[in-house]
Amino acid sequence: MTVKVARRFLRRERRPLISDGLEGVIAARTVLSDVDGAKGRLVIRGYAVEDLAGRARYEDAAHLLFDGFFEDAPSDLAPALGAARVRAFGEVAALDEGLARRDAVEAMRALLARLPDGDDLPTALLLVAAPAVFTPAVLRVAKGESPVAPDPALSHAADVLRMTRGTPATDAEAAALDAYLVTVCDHGLNASTFAARVVASTRAGLTSAVLAGLSALKGPLHGGAPGPVIEMLDAIGTPANARPWLERALARGDRLMGFGHRIYRVRDPRADALKTAVRKLASASSALPGRLAFAEAVETAALQILREHKPDRPLDTNVEFYTALLLEALGLPPSSFTCVFAMGRVAGWLAHAREQLAGGRLIRPQSVYVGPEARAAA
Ligand code: SDX
């Protein structure tokens, strides 16, 4: 059956036409977040993301997402999350240099896969702690350095930076990482969250759901984009080279990392939330103001060229562009950016998994067969 015949078949059967990439398909009801692509608004459990970023700690955002889905969640998750980081660190002994030198997401995923499945709050907190503990360990062991054990008394963000560097972070640096983790903690039914919900819908368990989300996040069309943003900025080098470099990239058919979005038809509200966090860091840095000004020049050129290149498709800055600048300013290597994205998004994956278990059914869409007609085996 050809696709044309299939479409006629679907129309006759009054079934919805196939939506490539499920674009425009509503697959769940959620109380967790609302992504308004037309207005460029993101609301997380009733709060605009720009009101949470820079004010709430990541522990507060995780509690906001967990509220109602884990009945025994304490009002302040910080102590329990600190204890969970210590528990997660027990798995780091399994990390050897060979594994640490793999792609950082793959190495972190291998450690995370050692955690047992479960559906309770201790399992969820261990899964929130895991990327935060495993990523610093992977980065240090890959350099031949010993992992640094967590300090449960610190905030989640401050401890991540301390475990990564081996020295305490400043309050401004911890606040900047908190702003990032909160900004990316949840975002509707993006690919990785949808993957987590599909696995949760089979009742496989929270660890399995998080592993599915992490694997989907790894792709450059999704959470794998911020690292390549740094590569793009470094390849462009100077503001004068922005337009020629970007035009050559588009002429090759490349996607400009950090731009475009399946839902947003205007600027992603998280871009400015993160730019604000970068500006705050820049006030205490000598190099960052220049790097920020250069990135803004590249962004301006990219938006102009994308408008010329795709006049019918609004392509604006997404969350990844200023993510790259912020994480670079915190001294995190581009190879770790997707792992750090997972550190923030994991609370969203877990809350969506619980929401799917609470009211959803097994997620099982259909497909239309366009292969060869049934025939007798030779
Ligand atoms: C995230 O869904 C979410 O919520 C994701 C996320 C979250 O918080 O979970 O917001 C996080 O994943 C942000 C996106 C990070 N990825 C990138 O920055 C990679 C670059 N962006 C693109 O690959 C793209 O914009 C996507 C993947 C993000 C969205 O792609 P769509 O919705 O599938 O759109 P499409 O691929 O159908 O593109 C439509 C047209 C195409 O032109 P034609 O092939 O029709 O001629 O727009 C073009 C594309 O070529 N286009 C781009 C572009 N993005 C789309 N052209 C150049 N550069 C780009 N960035």
Tell which residue, 21, 22, 5, has the closest CA to residue 13. Answer: 5
Report the pLDDT value the prediction gives residue 378, as an integer from 0 to 100.
80
CA neighbours closer than 13 Å in the CB half-sphere of residue 283? 8
Mean pLDDT over residues 334-347, rounded?
A: 98
Q: Hey, where are the domains in the chain?
A: 50-175+187-223+346-359, 227-329
pLDDT at 1 over 50: no
Cα Rg of the chain, angstroms? 22
What percentage of residues in the chain have a pLDDT greater than 90?
90
CB-ligand 1 contact for 352 (6 Å cutoff): no
pLDDT at 16 over 90: no
Find the 19 Cα to ligand 1 centroid distance in Å: 16
DSSP strand E in the chain: where? Answer: 33-36, 41-44, 47-48
CB-ligand 1 contact for 320 (6 Å cutoff): yes
Find the 360 Cα to ligand 1 centroid distance in Å: 29
CB-ligand 1 contact for 259 (6 Å cutoff): yes
Q: How far apart are CA 263 and CA 17, in angstroms?
A: 20
Q: 236-260 burial string, b = 16+ CB within 10 Å, else e?
A: beeeeebbebbeebbeeeeebbbbb
Contacts of 7 (CB under 8 A, 6+ apart): 17
Contacts of 252 (CB under 8 A, 6+ apart): none
pLDDT at 252 over 90: yes
CB 258 within 8 A of CB 275: no
pLDDT at 364 over 70: yes
Mean pLDDT over residues 149-164, rounded?
A: 98
Residue nearest to atom 3 of ligand 1 (CA): 190
Question: Which sequence positions are flagged as catalytic?
Answer: 261, 320
Amino acid sitting at position 344: G
Mean pLDDT over residues 206-222, rounded?
A: 97
3-state helix, strand, coil in the chain (%, to 5): 60, 5, 40
Q: How far apart are CA 349 and CA 220, in angstroms?
A: 19
Find the 222 Cα to ligand 1 centroid distance in Å: 8
Amino acid sitting at position 207: T
**Which atom, in ligand 1's list, is nearest to the CA of 259?**
60
Find the 164 Cα to ligand 1 centroid distance in Å: 31
Residue nearest to atom 2 of ligand 1 (CA): 190
Write the DSSP string, 160-179: HHHHHHSSPPPHHHHHHHHH
Candidates 1.10.580.10, 1.20.58.220, 1.20.1250.20, 1.10.600.10; correct CATH number of 50-175+187-223+346-359?
1.10.580.10
Contacts of 57 (CB under 8 A, 6+ apart): 78, 155, 156, 157, 178, 182
Report the pLDDT value the prediction gives residue 12, as an integer from 0 to 100.
54
* Tens-place pLDDT, residues 270-316: 999 999 999 999 998 888 999 999 999 999 999 999 999 999 999 99
Among the ranges given (54-68, 192-206, 275-289), the one the predictor scored with the smallest mean pLDDT? 275-289
Structure tokens at 265: 């038809």
CB-ligand 1 contact for 189 (6 Å cutoff): no
CB-ligand 1 contact for 279 (6 Å cutoff): no
- The verdict on domain 227-329 having CATH code 1.20.120.140 is no
Whole-prediction pTM value? 0.94
Pairing mode, strands 41-44 and 47-48: antiparallel
Mutation pick for ligand 1 pocket among 33, 313, 322, 337 (CB with most ligand atoms within 8 Å): 313
Residue nearest to atom 54 of ligand 1 (CA): 260
CB 363 within 8 A of CB 197: yes
CB-ligand 1 contact for 198 (6 Å cutoff): no
Report the pLDDT value the prediction gives residue 359, as an integer from 0 to 100.
85
CB-ligand 1 contact for 258 (6 Å cutoff): yes
Mutation pick for ligand 1 pocket among 231, 233, 248, 255 (CB with most ligand atoms within 8 Å): 255
Amino acid sitting at position 318: N
Give, for 121, the enclosing helix (H) or strand (E): helix 121-142
Find the 211 Cα to ligand 1 centroid distance in Å: 23
Query: 174: which strand partners?
Result: none
Q: How far apart are CA 268 and CA 261, in angstroms?
A: 8
CB-ligand 1 contact for 255 (6 Å cutoff): yes
